[in-house]
Amino acid sequence: MTTGPAPEAASAQTATGTVLPGDLAEEIVREIRSAGEYRSALDPRQPQRLVDLRWAALAAGRVLGRRIQVLMTKAVHDVDAPITARLVAAPVHRRTVPTQRQHGS
C-alpha cells in the first residue's frame, strides 16, 4: 500500500475566493472576543460551507461558554448573490424563579 503526501490543514473557500482558516472555530472566537462579531460571505451554491460555518459556531460557543447566533441575509432573487453571515454571542437570559402566589384568607 502506498501513501501520498500528508494532507495539509483543511481550508474552505468563500464566494469571494478568500480562504477561510483551517480551524474556523478559533477564528470565530478571536473575532467575537475582539470585535463582538464574526462576518463571512458564503456562496449559496455551496451549502456545505454553511454547514461548516454552523458547526464552527457551535464549537466557538462551547469555547466562549455562550450560545452563538448565526444571522444571515436571504438569497431570494439572485442565486449568484453571496449570503452574508454574521455571528454574535447570544444574549444571556437569566432564569428567574417565579414568585409564589399569595393566598388570601
pTM over 0.85: no
Q: Cell numbers of 99, please? A: 414568585
**pLDDT (tens digit per residue) in 29-59:** 999 999 999 999 988 888 888 899 999 999 9
The confidence score (pLDDT) of residue 44 equals 84
pLDDT higher at 91 or 13: 91
| Rg, the chain, Cα only | 20
Domain ranges of the chain: 25-89
**pLDDT (tens digit per residue) in 1-33:** 344 333 344 444 444 444 555 689 999 999 999
**Cα 11 from Cα 52, distance rounded (Å):** 11
* pLDDT exceeds 80 at position 99: no
